[in-house]
A and B are shown apart, each in its own frame.
Chain A
């Protein structure tokens, strides 16, 4: 299936969980949130959240400056 991840087209196997995609992104230790189709998905839901064709996934990093 085709998705958009951080603005770029990406091909993933059907039934891929959001967590699998996040694990590929090397976000360990970073402060981030993940939105799918313009809605934040809470972290605890990532392992069972199944992505579907056409989903738009964006990683939002917290910015701490002021």
Chain B
């Protein structure tokens, strides 16, 4: 694949960057990234990955655009109220960069479909708004040895970590499985509109670094952002020997025994 004159101009600031260059740009153009969740976090992630020239982006979301989304979900517009989020996102991405092929998946991830949905991608971005999905994506990615970036936001706070094969996973940090209603969600307590911009941009950056093979990833570390105090805490996470997924005696061994695992907990 040779870059066209338009591409050489579009990606000039990458191409002149020592650690990217033409080869790195070609790598981005041939990469496939899956973004699960097309809301607050997914918006900046999708826009930065598309602008950077990631060649194929799968977008998973089962929702439609709502007025209450627009305070933070910057990929959607007022004109697209009521439209499926994945189609609204595709429209914005295509307008931004026609090089990026968008695969819209108008669905939510489930125990049954997740292994199939993530299979074809080089990197996964977890940008969902609930713990069930966050744990499910963690578990499916770890079981499939698929690298992914976790992001979470609430109120004036956000956190992110990058999970790569053989390193600490989300369950190594927060061991418990999802328990409904134990903690608040954004639609209950709110979130400042720019917070997902900070965390989502970190996630997109991690993804690009992974695809380019550059630098140190946010692996075995959890980054916690407190906007009110303007404080970033970088916390070291060791692989947890008690982790039910990647520890010494794992309980979750495949997506096939996943339901059984949750039944045993009850």
Q: In chain B between 204 and 252, which residues have their CB closer than 8 angstroms to a CB of chain A?
A: 222, 224, 233-238, 240-242
Q: Are B241 and A42 in contact (CB under 8 A)?
A: yes
**Does B197 sit within 8 A of A, measured CB to CB?**
no
Q: What is the interface residue range for chain B against chain A?
A: 35 or more
Q: Summarize A's interface: helix, strand, loop or mixed.
A: mixed
Q: How distant is the Cα of A65 from the Cα of B37 in the complex, in angstroms?
A: 11
Contacting B129 at CB < 8 Å: which of A40, A43, A65? Answer: A65
Q: Are B151 and A66 in contact (CB under 8 A)?
A: yes
Q: Are A39 and B42 in contact (CB under 8 A)?
A: no
A31 contacts which chain B residues (CB < 8 A)? Answer: 131, 174, 176, 179, 182-183
Q: In chain B between 31 and 54, which residues have their CB closer than 8 angstroms to a CB of chain A?
A: 37, 39-42
A44 contacts which chain B residues (CB < 8 A)? Answer: 242
A63 contacts which chain B residues (CB < 8 A)? Answer: 152-154, 157-159
For residue A65, which residue of chain B has the nearest CB?
B186
A58 contacts which chain B residues (CB < 8 A)? Answer: 233, 235
Q: Are B233 and A38 in contact (CB under 8 A)?
A: yes
Q: Are A66 and B159 in contact (CB under 8 A)?
A: no
Distance in Å: Cβ of A26 to nearest Cβ of chain B: 14
Q: Are A40 and B173 in contact (CB under 8 A)?
A: yes
Q: How distant is the Cα of A32 from the Cα of B152 in the complex, in angstroms?
A: 13
Q: How distant is the Cα of A58 from the Cα of B233 in the complex, in angstroms?
A: 10
Q: Are A39 and B222 in contact (CB under 8 A)?
A: no
**Does B130 sit within 8 A of A, measured CB to CB?**
yes
Q: Are B235 and A66 in contact (CB under 8 A)?
A: no
**Does B24 sit within 8 A of A, measured CB to CB?**
no
Q: How distant is the Cα of A38 from the Cα of B27 in the complex, in angstroms?
A: 35
**Does B175 sit within 8 A of A, measured CB to CB?**
yes
Among A42, A44, A60, A61, the one with the most B-chain Cβ atoms within 10 Å of its Cβ is A42
Q: How distant is the Cα of A44 from the Cα of B41 in the complex, in angstroms?
A: 32
Distance in Å: Cβ of A55 to nearest Cβ of chain B: 14
A residues at B contact (CB < 8 Å): 29-33, 35, 38-40, 42-44, 58, 60-66
B residues at A contact (CB < 8 Å): 37, 39-42, 127-131, 134, 151-154, 157-159, 172-176, 179, 182-183, 185-186, 191, 196, 222, 224, 233-238, 240-242
Q: List 9 A-B contacts (CB under 8 A).
A: A31-B131, A33-B222, A38-B235, A39-B236, A39-B238, A60-B224, A64-B130, A64-B152, A65-B185
